[in-house]
Structure 1
């Protein structure tokens, strides 16, 4: 699988974004599970609640990320066009 000149190559940030979502959901699930474990002292209940928290947070993060509108540079990158040039700096007024 080689990259041809017109082929899109995702940036490192784009590649690691799903890991950020899963990691954030895992942290929230561990925290929730520990709170339930400390208060209820029931391991099975803590695991169930942690699993539910993981799924809810992961779906919420995914839906919120889909709601963000890409800027002009991202849209150009998706379309395969050149990114728009920055406007020239005007002399000081």
Structure 2
């Protein structure tokens, strides 16, 4: 079994990073609007978890079907090389 590429290994970290950015954005908007630090932290946590769930589900749904090896997780699968124009 070959090792996954750096891009494939960094995919989960990219998803967590995007969810964190969305959570911080929601927290900042709430802090500016309500001036309540508690409410901003709570909403930032909820937004982070919700964004993480949605991004993970979209990542799983976008995975390619590989009939020859169905036991490999979606994030560990290799993408075929892109065609140059």
Please state which band the TM-score falls in when normalised by the shorter chain. 0.7 to 0.9
**Are 1:50 and 2:44 matched, yes or no?**
yes
* 2:2 match: secondary structure: coil
Rg larger for: 1
- Root-mean-square deviation (Å): 1.8
Higher relative contact order (CA 8 A, sep 6+): 2
* 1:31 match: secondary structure: helix
Number of equivalenced pairs: 69
- State TM-score, norm by structure 2: 0.74
1:67 aligned partner: 61
CA distance in 2, matches of 1:61, 1:44: 26
**Are 1:15 and 2:6 matched, yes or no?**
no
**Are 1:30 and 2:24 matched, yes or no?**
yes
Off by >4 Å, runs of 4+ in structure 1: none
Measured against aligned partners, the alpha-carbon deviations of 1:14-63 in whole angstroms (never above 9, x if no partner) come to 11001100100000011100000000000000000000000000000000
In structure 2, the gaps of 5 or more residues are 73-79, 81-85
**Are 1:41 and 2:56 matched, yes or no?**
no
- State TM-score, norm by structure 1: 0.68
In structure 1, the gaps of 5 or more residues are 1-6, 79-83, 85-93
